[in-house]
Amino acid sequence: MGDDTLDFLRFKENHHQKSAVPQAVLDSDLHITWANKAFENLFHRQEGCTGEHIAGFAQLSGLDGRSLYHQLKDPSTGNSFTGNGESRFQHHPRLFTNVHIVPIYREPGADESVSGYCAYFHDATQSHKQSLRAIFLSLLEASRMKDNDTGRHIERVNRYSSLMAEYMYEDGTDLQVDRDFVENISFLAAMHDVGKIGVPDDILNKAGSLEDWEWEIMTTHTLNGAYILGAYPDPMAVEIARSHHERWDGSGYPYGLMEDMIPLSARIVTIADVYDALRSRRSYKDEMSHEQASGLILLGSRTQFDPDLVDIFRVLKDNFAEIYDELEDTNLPPSSRRR
């Protein structure tokens, strides 16, 4: 490292340590030589991060360490990079960043002698999430209109699913269930039936039982949902829509998947959805008490439901009842919706 870089580092340490803008100084191989507190906080790295490669931290979109290196060595880019990063953590939600990396020249204007880089980060997670969710919430509203769903079924399904995922996260038995998983399922469980937007109204709202051919069309809401949610950046959206009617013993639809072949998120939403459907009054059935509904969930272990998740349901079932009571539908005509 050249003397100029060292001077620059001292300057950074003196003036930028307290800056609220997360920033790091990199050597010419893109390893971190200095980072301010805001940077360490942003990446949840209180123990320091010098010596690590910047690509490992920021996971810059579409760029591995090598192509980032080539881009920064390229004088035609001004030895600079502007782009987005997406970082994942076990115990924190996913982080989206806007990133700018600019060169530190050994001598001003001499672009062949880059001695290091300065990287600036902006936390774009909230704005990213808000704009993404706004789009999918409108989609959800459209499907609810079509489905005549004035009740709070989907809100409750979000809450039960979130409750189970949170329990699994605290329990730590399944590494799939990180902070991101919990946060995503709490939003995406509600989307399980968006595919009903493609089912004709007379089938969707038919009182009484369905003919075989009508049932056949009804089942396509899983694949329609997967198609519609294909644009969502996390695969969980598609998994839930496609697989929330699969059964542990392989007798569900659309693909007859068995056991662990069914994505975990969908196995959780299935229990949440069935419990709530059992509790609710529909035109073709009466509502059930908590005792009856939870009894049926427990009975469905290994046939309809994942036995490990049913064990978790057994622990949490009183909380399910609380959520149902808290968000109970009031003064609504009996819905003719099918699960």
Q: Pick the piece of the chain touching Fe ion (CB under 5 A) from 24-32, 102-110, 192-200, 250-258.
A: 192-200
Shortest Cβ 221–Fe ion spacing (Å): 6
- In 3D space, the residue among 205, 248, 199 whose CA is nearest the CA of residue 222 turns out to be 199
- Of the pair 12, 221, the CB lying nearest Fe ion is at 221
CA dist., res. 197 & res. 139, Å (int) = 9
Asked if residue 273 binds Fe ion (CB under 5 A), the reply is yes
Give the residue with the Cβ less far from Fe ion, 54 or 189: 189
Applying CB under 5 A, the span of 45-53, 87-95, 130-138, 273-281 interacting with Fe ion comes to 273-281
One symbol per residue from 279 to 318: x for binding Fe ion (CB under 5 A), - otherwise; what is it?
----------------------------------------
List binders of Fe ion among 111-170 (CB under 5 A).
none
Indicate the residue among 102 and 203 with the shorter CB distance to Fe ion: 203
Residue 286 Cβ, how far from Fe ion at the closest point, in Å? 18
Binding to Fe ion in span 4-43, by CB under 5 A:
none
Least spacing, CB of residue 234 vs Fe ion, in Å = 19
Residue 77 C-beta: closest distance to Fe ion, Å: 49
Kindly tell me which of 149 and 178 has the beta carbon lying closer to Fe ion.
Answer: 149
* Closest distance to Fe ion from the beta carbon of 181 (Å): 20
Query: Of 290 and 339, which CB lies nearer to Fe ion in the complex structure?
Result: 339
Binding-site member from 193, 234, 246, 306 for Fe ion (CB under 5 A): 193
**How many C-beta atoms lie closer than 10 Å to residue 147's C-beta?**
24
Number of residues that bind Fe ion (CB under 5 A): 3
Residues 200-259 binding Fe ion (CB under 5 A) are: none
Query: CA triplet 244, 162, 286: central angle to 5 degrees?
Result: 60
Binding piece for Fe ion, criterion CB under 5 A, among 34-42, 165-173, 185-193, 308-316: 185-193
Cis ω before 254 (30° cut-off from 0): yes
Q: Is 52 exposed, middle or buried (0-12, 13-18, 19+ CB in 10 A)?
A: middle
Of 32-40, 128-136, 266-274, 313-321: span binding Fe ion (CB under 5 A): 266-274
Q: How far is the CB of 213 from Fe ion (least distance, A)?
A: 18
* 146 phi-psi bin (left φ>0, alpha ψ -120 to 50, beta other): alpha
CA distance 339 to 319: 22
User: Which tokens sit at 290?
Assistant: 């908590």
* Closest among 209, 193, 184, 181 to 153, alpha carbons compared: 193
Cβ pair 123, 84 in contact under 8 A: no
Smaller CB separation from Fe ion, 79 or 222? 222
Least distance in angstroms from the C-beta of 8 to Fe ion: 58
CA distance 121 to 39: 8
Question: For the chain, how many residues are written?
Answer: 339
Here the tokens at position 99 are 């990133």
Q: What is the 3-state secondary structure (H, E, C) of 95-139?
A: EEEEEEEEEEECCCCCCCCEEEEEEEEEECHHHHHHHHHHHHHHH
Terminal CA-CA length for the chain: 64
Exposed / middle / buried, residue 172 (Cβ in 10 Å: 0-12, 13-18, 19+): exposed
- In the complex, which residues of this chain contact Fe ion (CB under 5 A)? 193, 273, 339
